[in-house]
Chain A
Amino acid sequence: DTEVTQTPKHLVMGMTNKKSLKCEQHMGHRAMYWYKQKAKKPPELMFVYSYEKLSINESVPSRFSPECPNSSLLNLHLHALQPEDSALYLCASSQDWAFFGQGTRLTVV
């Protein structure tokens, strides 16, 4: 299995909602990542987990809360988001190179 699976593929949420994005990989990779990609822009790193511990937080607002319950799963909990947080959220895992999921297209209304 050489895939990174992200669910849901699309998500529309209001500014007062709480939702979660899920990412799963079964390649045995011990590093996992969240990236944010705005329209017509490159992906930007948000968080890095290494061996299930948060190792990098790129000054992301606290309304984004990552969680790594085990070596195969990565979640991104969302609360009180703003319309400008609308973007494609990409999960990746890596060993020699990064494998990316198909992303979750998030729209905040």
Chain B
Amino acid sequence: AQSVTQLDSQVPVFEEAPVELRCNYSSSVSVYLFWYVQYPNQGLQLLLKYLSGSTLVKGINGFEAEFNKSQTSFHLRKPSVHISDTAEYFCAVSRGSQGNLIFGKGTKLSVKP
């Protein structure tokens, strides 16, 4: 069975500081991995995805993530955050089709001025 663990439920950070949101997955088969962002009272927006190929994946809004198969991790990073990055971030792994997703519990990123 597949599962996703987001190790931090909340990450407070100051504006312009770097941030890393951690995600580990468990799967016995090849995986497709995703990071989604959810702003208050909104749906989910895809930040980036790993389907195959290069293990360093770049996404929207300056975010990137690295797929590490040996450590079963897919951590999300941004070198300098903005107030507007305050949101809930979900790591997800697909089961079969790319829309059939198992989500981690989410990490609330709070960017302070």
Contacts and interface: CB of A to CB of B under 8 A. Distances in A.
A, B from the same assembly:
yes
Interface of A: 4, 6, 31-33, 41-45, 48, 50, 56, 90, 92-103, 105
A66 B97 CA distance: 19
B63 interface: no
Contact of A96 (B41, B42, B51, B103): B51
Chain A facing B: main interface SS: strand
Given A31-B99, A97-B46, A105 B105 contact: no
A100 B43 contact: yes
B98 interface: yes
Nearest to A48: B100
Contact of B42 (A42, A44, A48, A102): A102
A98 B43 contact: no
Contacts, number: 60
Interface centre among B51, B97, B105 (most CB of A within 10 A): B97
Given A32-B99, A94-B99, A97-B98, 12 more contacts: A4-B43, A41-B106, A43-B101, A43-B103, A50-B97, A96-B98, A97-B34, A97-B99, A98-B98, A98-B101, A100-B36, A100-B45
